[in-house]
Amino acid sequence: MPVNYYIFVALALFSIGVVGVLTRRNAIIVFMCIEIMLNAVNLLLVAFSKMHAAVYAAAAPATVTGTGIDGQLFVFFIMVVAAAEVSVGLAIIVMMYRNIHSVDINFLNRLKH
């Protein structure tokens, strides 16, 4: 399957994420949109990794050492980091809800002062 399809899907996912972050005010949805962007990137990593492995294998088989697995490793890292991030982020959102009884990010403008 050509890599283009993956790229378009990733692009669509990323754009959805960006638009979501920019337009929504609900902290949890913004959060989810960020996750979508991360996953768009993950998808690209895996796709390119696989593609490169295939291209190299076709051009010079002797130099190929792996089977395009390093991109997947990165993806695992990102997943782990994202999980950690989610736990921190959700905790912040919970604290926020407890304090101001809302998860609207527009209330969080105290950094200005």
Partner 1 sequence: MSKIVALVPLLPLLGFLINGLLRKQLSKTAAGIIGSGTVLGAFIISVLLFIDVRNGKTGVVEFFPFISFDTVKIPFAFLVDQLTAIYLLIITGVGFLIHVYSTAYMHDEEAPHFARYFAYLNLFVFSMLLLVLGANYVIMFIGWEGVGLCSYLLIGYWFKNPQYNNAAKKAFVMNRIGDLGFLLAVFWLLAKLSTVTYGEVFSADAIKALSQTDITIITLLFFVAATGKSAQIPLYTWLPDAMAGPTPVSALIHAATMVTAGIYLVARTNILFSMAETTQHVIAWIGVATALLAATIAVKQNDIKKVLAYSTVSQLGYMFLALGMGAYTAAVFHVMTHAFFKALLFLGSGSVIHAMGGEQDIRKMGGLAKHMKITYFTFLIGCLAIAGVPMFSGFFSKDAILLSAYEHNKIIWGIALLVAALTTFYMFRLLFLTFKGSFRGTEEQQHHLHESPRAMTIPLIILGVLSIVGGYISVPEVFVAGGDKLGQFLAPIIPLHTHAVSHMEEYALMGGTTLLVAIVIVFAWNKYKTYKEETNGAFGNLLENKWYVDELYNTIIVKPINWLAGFIENVLERSGIDAIVNGVGRAVQYSSRQLRLLQSGQVGSYVLLMIAGMVLLFVLQFFLKK
- d(C-alpha 40, C-alpha 14), whole Å: 6
For the beta carbon of residue 38, count every other beta carbon within 10 angstroms: 20
Q: Which is nearer to partner 1, 30 or 47 (CB)?
A: 30
Instruction: Compute the least distance from the CB of residue 92 to partner 1, in Å.
Output: 13
Q: Which is nearer to partner 1, 37 or 53 (CB)?
A: 37
What Å distances lie between residue 34 and 15, 27, 99, 107, CA to CA? Answer: 11, 11, 24, 19
Instruction: Compute the least distance from the CB of residue 51 to partner 1, in Å.
Output: 21
Q: How many residues does the chain have?
A: 113
Q: Which is nearer to partner 1, 25 or 77 (CB)?
A: 25
Instruction: Compute the least distance from the CB of residue 13 to partner 1, in Å.
Output: 16
Instruction: Compute the least distance from the CB of residue 30 to partner 1, in Å.
Output: 8
CA 72 to chain CA centroid, nearest Å? 14
Q: Which is nearer to partner 1, 27 or 53 (CB)?
A: 27
Interacting residue ranges for partner 1, rule: CB under 8 A: 18, 21-22, 25, 105-106, 108-113
